[in-house]
Amino acid sequence: MTHDFLQPLVGCFAMPAGEDPTVVMIEAAFRHHGLNWRYINCEVAPEDLGDAVRGARAMGWRGFNCSIPHKVAVIAHLDGLGASAEIIGAVNTVVRRGDKLIGENTDGKGFVGALSRVIDPAGQRVVLFGAGGAARAVAVELALAGVAHITVVNRSAGRGQTVASLIDDKTPASADYAPWNGTYAIPKGTGIVVNATSLGLYPNVDQTPDVDTDTLSPDMVVADGIHNPPLTQFLKAAQARGCKTADGLGMLVGQGVIGLKYWTGIDADAGVMRQALLDLGL
């Protein structure tokens, strides 16, 4: 029997660490590409985060993901931030570069990667529903990918205005906030519509953003951050209107592909990773 104590490790610091599709997706890629690596899910209480990061350093981990509630708190324990993580102010992926641990944010990068297979974001006008952590990351990456303007539509005005100001102040794109009082009509000239709220996430699969779907037109691309189920009511309505769509499973896989590139240097097979998630029943 052989023991490979030098097997490279990456992982996730989460709280609580439950069933995590990311483990399945990343380990499927390791197997497919013949990498003898492991991805480990660790439950880390907020007060233990510093010790957990020191442990990852001491054990030579190649990196790790951070879930809520660690995405902001982890920054104090790192040596530096990537450009978009700096603007977003949150980290979901940590990468060991030399002897430094650098924080990156792949939430929005995965989204833009998946979206870019359907439309080039450069120069587009975007309507973005939501202003939470996912929306903030998506907005920053869309802005860095060259969209012209983002209208942030959110139930809570304060959070919506904060994301719009962040885009206006810290990126080359312009942005404004639009209140979400009743059914929202998509303005003409919009190229990309994004649901980055939690509406439609399992088990609330019948929830959908309050949008006048008659204002969707076939020249618009509609994207949803919800990965479970991948075909949300919102995407179904958009497809019925003739729109091209990008689903949240593509965003999740896109994040995994970028994380694997950071950690291992390989270009992972997105199809294998998506199939591993579909096999889970997502």
Active-site positions read 71
Closest listed residue to residue 173, CA positions, set 224, 128, 223, 217? 128
Q: For ligand NDP, which residue of 132, 162, 215, 269 counts as binding (CB under 6 A)?
A: 132
Q: Does 130 contact ligand NDP by CB under 6 A? A: yes
Q: For ligand NDP, which residue of 23, 255, 258, 259 counts as binding (CB under 6 A)?
A: 255
Half-sphere CA count of 31, side-chain side, radius 13 A: 9
Q: Does 22 contact ligand NDP by CB under 6 A? A: no
CB-wise, 21 or 82, nearer to ligand NDP?
Answer: 21
User: Smallest gap, in angstroms, from Cβ of residue 125 to ligand NDP?
Assistant: 20
Q: Which of the ranges 30-38, 152-160, 234-242, 266-274 carries the binding residues for ligand NDP, by CB under 6 A?
A: 152-160
CA distances from 259 to 6, 147, 175, 192, 253 (A): 20, 24, 29, 25, 10
Q: What is the DSSP letter of 253?
A: H
Burial of 35 (0-12, 13-18, 19+ CB in 10 A): middle
User: Smallest gap, in angstroms, from Cβ of residue 199 to ligand NDP?
Assistant: 5
Q: Which of the ranges 29-37, 46-54, 55-63, 198-206 carries the binding residues for ligand NDP, by CB under 6 A?
A: 198-206
Q: Which of the ranges 41-49, 51-59, 97-105, 128-136 carries the binding residues for ligand NDP, by CB under 6 A?
A: 128-136
List the x/- string, 153-172, binding to ligand NDP by CB under 6 A.
-xxx--x-------------
Closest listed residue to residue 65, CA positions, set 37, 33, 90? 90
* Alpha helical stretches, state H, the chain: 21-32, 49-58, 83-88, 107-115, 133-144, 157-170, 233-240, 248-264, 270-279
List the x/- string, 70-109, binding to ligand NDP by CB under 6 A.
-------------------------------------x--
Q: 220 is written with which tokens?
A: 């618009």
CA distances from 8 to 38, 61, 102 (A): 7, 7, 18
Closest listed residue to residue 206, CA positions, set 229, 240, 239, 183? 229
CB-wise, 186 or 196, nearer to ligand NDP?
Answer: 196
Q: 278 is written with which tokens?
A: 């579909």
Burial 229-257 (b: 16+ CB within 10 A, else e): bbbbbbbebbeeeebebbbbbbbbbbbbb
Q: For ligand NDP, which residue of 73, 201, 205, 266 counts as binding (CB under 6 A)?
A: 201
Q: Which of the ranges 8-16, 95-103, 139-147, 244-252 carries the binding residues for ligand NDP, by CB under 6 A?
A: 244-252
Q: Does 245 contact ligand NDP by CB under 6 A? A: no
Q: Does 233 contact ligand NDP by CB under 6 A? A: no
- Report the interface residues with ligand NDP, using CB under 6 A: 107, 110, 130-135, 154-156, 159, 196-199, 201, 225-227, 248, 251-252, 255
